[in-house]
């Protein structure tokens, strides 16, 4: 494939249009699957090696990031993580395009962030045809266990995504959103500062 052909595929990807596995095969060197395998088999006590591997795997990673193994990513290199990130076990990034995660984000076990979907009509799924749209998780978000974040979603500052939710649309800042499909349940308010605290 010529450089011009590669650019044409990248342009289609950026527009959220359909592309195939064969067309996107030139991106294979950006996959960090061997490094992810090594990370998932690195002893917990070898913190220096884990930090080094995260830096090599992700497109960018902030200070004090914690990712509990095992985690999985299609590329790894398209994931960008801010400071003070905590990702619990079985976190999956389907990162055919960028996943950008802000500071102070917490993700519970078995969460999937997928930038990629497939056409509804089977005739359009030949050669693993797909479309991809970036995901943005703003600062201080908490995502509950077994949630799925779908292509093109942006989750606003400070919001909480309930366990088991399927997030197919943007979520505004400072709300609790739950369900399948995920919907805003309520705003986060000053009253939430006093929950689960001992009586005075």
Helix, strand, coil distribution of the chain in percent, nearest 5:
25, 30, 50
Per-residue tokens: 127: 């050669």
Q: Which residues form the catalytic set?
A: 118
Task: Give the Cα separation of 40 and 82 in Å (integer).
Answer: 21
Cis status, amide bond into 97, omega within 30 of 0: no
Task: Give the Cα separation of 42 and 40 in Å (integer).
Answer: 6
User: What order do you get walking across the sheet with 154-155 strand by strand?
Assistant: 60-61, 79-81, 99-101, 135-137, 154-155
* Alpha carbon separation from 21 to 124, 131, 171 (Å, rounded): 12, 11, 31
Radius of gyration of the chain (CA): 18
User: What order do you get walking across the sheet with 71-73 strand by strand?
Assistant: 71-73, 91-94, 112-114, 148-149, 166-167
């Amino acid at each position: 494939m010529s450089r011009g052909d590669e650019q044409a595929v990248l342009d289609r990807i950026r527009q959220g249009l359909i592309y195939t596995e064969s067309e996107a095969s030139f991106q294979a060197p950006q996959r960090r699957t061997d490094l992810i395998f090594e990370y998932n088999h690195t002893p917990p006590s070898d913190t220096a090696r884990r930090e080094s591997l995260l830096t090599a795997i992700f497109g960018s990673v902030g200070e004090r990031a914690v990712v509990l193994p095992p985690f999985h990513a299609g590329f790894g290199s398209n994931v960008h993580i801010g400071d003070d990130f905590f990702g619990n076990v079985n976190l999956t990034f389907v990162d055919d395009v960028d996943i950008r995660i802000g500071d102070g984000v917490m993700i519970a076990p078995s969460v999937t962030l997928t930038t990629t979907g497939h056409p509804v009509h089977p005739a359009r799924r030949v050669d693993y045809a797909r479309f991809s749209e970036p995901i943005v998780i703003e600062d201080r978000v908490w995502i509950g266990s077994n949630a799925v974040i779908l292509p093109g979603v942006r989750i606003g500052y400070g919001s909480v995504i309930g366990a088991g939710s399927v997030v197919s649309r943007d979520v505004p800042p400072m709300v609790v959103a739950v369900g399948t499909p995920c919907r805003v349940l309520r705003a986060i308010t000053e009253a939430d500062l006093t929950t689960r605290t001992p009586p005075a």
